[in-house]
Structure 1
Amino acid sequence: MADPDLAKHGFFWPDMPSDHADHTERTQEGAIVKVATAFFEEMERRSEKVNPLKLDGPISRDEWHSAKGRKRPIVDQWFYVDVGVFIAPGGTGKTTLLLFQAICIVLGLDLFGYEVRNAGPVVILTAEDSRETLVARLRYMCHQLGLTDEQVQEVRESVIITDVSGKGIKLTTVEKDVVMPSKVLDRLIVEVGLLCPSLLIVDPMVSFGVGESRINDAEQAMIDAARRIVNTVQCAVLYVHHTGKANARDKTTDQYSGRGGSALADGARMVHVLQRLDPAEWTSATGDTLGPDDSGFVLARPKMTWCQPQPDIFIKRRGYGFERIAAVDPTEGAGAITRQNADKVDQFLRDEFVKGNKHTGRTLQALKMMPRQSMRDAVERLMTDGRLVSEAVTTGRGGARTFLRPIDRPN
């Protein structure tokens, strides 16, 4: 009798002679070797095409007239068919924000007011968050966005998530003390190329390189690896990267905000930097107020090679939804901060007055509810608006002779 496993491969001869079965097994192995050989030959061919060993010839007439001055946009003034890096501190929610951007690219929806010019699949290689976690976030996001069943189906089919955490997948390697793209990269190029994506996200970049012992060499090799993907697959490649500790504390948004060396930012053609804002910073920048369930961010694009310089945008997150909020003039933002502080002081004085406690400007400052100047500005604003008065003490006791009273409270 034949090996029952052969039935899975289409062999149904029940009384197959053993010598014939051995021959069939050898034939199958030969076919597998043949396919594998063809696979690697194709990868080698593509590699040679991307990295030719011969110098190019003179510029032809057709090339002279057809050469384009900038890369094809995926999202206008946002993502182009080139290498990019997205920098943010750990725990900021950068991966969730990227999932939101992936949904917009897949469905062709405007991204914070920017037009998606070439919608298509988005491939995500993650070595940090599990596939299950990212799928759940996508589901929550689609629900919060109110997408139709057809749109949800498109997201499910076109956002390709591959979790390689713990598998040691590296896009670069060290050979003879030189950091260079690895053989895994060739396989990735073939796999990604079959999907014809608009964007490939690699998250986080540090998990796919050789480490940070030779910082700039390692970063430059990652740039070279990404360029090979871009040139072969013709999609945008975005590395997710963390900020340095000092940059995170200082909330810098320049192109060198990422930890490590300068080669990554120098080699990338798109650099996006995300920083979280506290409520006061958010209000100062936007005039808007963050609720208890809200988070505010500034997204800078300090390096955009293929378009004019772009302004910072301010993003409010609530749950799994993201909304762009317009920036305001610094004077208007400062005024909004003063109004917020005034409301806080007003409510505090009202609550204290009910309890029988009376405060002066000095006792308010002693409570350290806010910086001294902010407290002074808030009290001045309340008095200017007619919401607060300085009233004389009528008890005849020593000490302070006036106190601050909310205007609509009786003596």
Structure 2
Amino acid sequence: MDELGPFDLERGRIGDLLQADPPERRWVVSDRLPQDVVGILAAAGGTGKSMATLQLAVSIATGLPWLEMTISEPGTVLMVSAEDDRQEIHRRLSRIVEHYTSVHGGMEAIQTALSRELYIFDRVGLDNRLTVKMDRAIQNTPLVGQITQCARQLPDIRLIVLDPLARFDGGDPNDNSDGTRLIESAEYIRRETGATVLLPHHVSKAGIRDPGSGQEA
């Protein structure tokens, strides 16, 4: 008989699930963004996704509310920016800190928390593909392992941002199976780190009006 591997029936039994209470769902942003998932923040270009994502990172690093929503589990954030360089991040971060200080006070405490808990890597102009197509098959690139190893050094990692999704996709954007491989690479990072992995994604306004159109910006 062939080895059943992952489909050994003993592995599929659910008796243990019936004998204990299910674990409570953990949230990064209360009732909005779960801990330990892969998520896509999709919106049309020019709608402020990158700014909102950086605000989210600041909120998780400081524990301050994000868009009036509670941060359930503050912690460390790792961002890989493939579109906005360090100077642009500097400008945006300065505006966010100024705004948060005007609302919550305590600029020094905010800056201290961010210095300790927020890591941003400027990779503009570099090859950021998590996947690559070789001999008509999608494979992970070394970047998957590099991001994973970096995040593992952060014991309180809560969020990993890969911005934007398109810069990390080495497959055909019109091939759903290639897109699935990209999400699987992000799921590997999630599984190995326990962090939520968020991929902001540009979509066209036409695609928002017609989700079945398959169009992308």
State the TM-score, normalized to the length of structure 2.
0.82
Letter in 2 for 1:122: V
Equivalent in 111, 116, 126 of residue 157 of structure 1: 116
Letter in 1 for 2:123: V
Provide the C-alpha distance between the structure 2 equivalents of 1:68 and 1:141, rounded to a whole number of angstroms: 38
Would you say how many aligned residue pairs link Structure 1 and Structure 2?
204
2:63 corresponds in structure 1 to 108
What's the CA shift for 1:201? 0.9
What's the CA shift for 1:221? 1.0
Letter in 1 for 2:125: G
Equivalent in 186, 194, 198 of residue 234 of structure 1: 194
Letter in 2 for 1:201: V
Provide the C-alpha distance between the structure 1 equivalents of 2:14 and 2:172, rounded to a whole number of angstroms: 43
Provide the C-alpha distance between the structure 2 equivalents of 1:179 and 1:151, rounded to a whole number of angstroms: 42
| TM-superposition CA deviations, 1:49-80 (whole Å, max 9, x none) | xxxx9426434865654573664211122211
SS of alignment partner, residue 153 of structure 2 = helix
What's the CA shift for 1:156? 2.6
Provide the C-alpha distance between the structure 1 equivalents of 2:119 and 2:137, rounded to a whole number of angstroms: 32
Q: Which has the higher contact order (CA 8 A, sep 6+)?
A: 2
| TM-superposition CA deviations, 1:283-309 (whole Å, max 9, x none) | xxxxxxxxxxxxxxxxxxxxxxxxxxx
Equivalent in 72, 75, 96 of residue 26 of structure 2: 72
What's the CA shift for 1:119? 0.7
Q: 1:115 to 1:72 in 2, by over 3 A?
A: same
C-alpha root-mean-square deviation of aligned residues, in Å?
A: 2.6
Q: How do 1:332-411 residues align onto structure 2 when only pairs under 5 Å count? A: none
Q: Is residue 207 of structure 1 aligned with residue 167 of structure 2?
A: yes
Q: How do 1:147-226 residues align onto structure 2 when only pairs under 5 Å count? A: 147-148=105-106, 149-196=108-155, 197-212=157-172, 214-226=174-186
Q: Is residue 128 of structure 1 aligned with residue 83 of structure 2?
A: yes
Provide the C-alpha distance between the structure 2 equivalents of 1:213 and 1:241, rounded to a whole number of angstroms: 12
Gaps of 5+ in 2: none
Letter in 2 for 1:190: Q
Gaps of 5+ in 1: 1-52, 261-411
Provide the C-alpha distance between the structure 2 equivalents of 1:237 and 1:128, rounded to a whole number of angstroms: 17
Q: Percent identity?
A: 24
Preserved contact between residue 133 and residue 171 of structure 2 (Cα < 8 Å): no
1:96 corresponds in structure 2 to 51
Equivalent in 137, 142, 156 of residue 97 of structure 2: 142
SS of alignment partner, residue 41 of structure 2 = strand
What's the CA shift for 1:123? 1.1
What's the CA shift for 1:103? 1.6
Preserved contact between residue 171 and residue 179 of structure 2 (Cα < 8 Å): no
Provide the C-alpha distance between the structure 1 equivalents of 2:181 and 2:171, rounded to a whole number of angstroms: 11
Provide the C-alpha distance between the structure 2 equivalents of 1:94 and 1:143, rounded to a whole number of angstroms: 19
Equivalent in 180, 193, 203 of residue 243 of structure 1: 203
Preserved contact between residue 201 and residue 237 of structure 1 (Cα < 8 Å): yes
| TM-superposition CA deviations, 1:199-218 (whole Å, max 9, x none) | 11111111111143552122
| TM-superposition CA deviations, 1:318-362 (whole Å, max 9, x none) | xxxxxxxxxxxxxxxxxxxxxxxxxxxxxxxxxxxxxxxxxxxxx
Q: 1:257 to 1:113 in 2, by over 3 A?
A: farther
1:382 corresponds in structure 2 to none
State the TM-score, normalized to the length of structure 1.
0.45
SS of alignment partner, residue 72 of structure 2 = coil
What's the CA shift for 1:220? 0.5
What's the CA shift for 1:172? 0.8
Q: 1:153 to 1:61 in 2, by over 3 A?
A: same
SS of alignment partner, residue 198 of structure 1 = strand
Q: Which has the larger radius of gyration?
A: 1
SS of alignment partner, residue 195 of structure 1 = coil
2:72 corresponds in structure 1 to 117
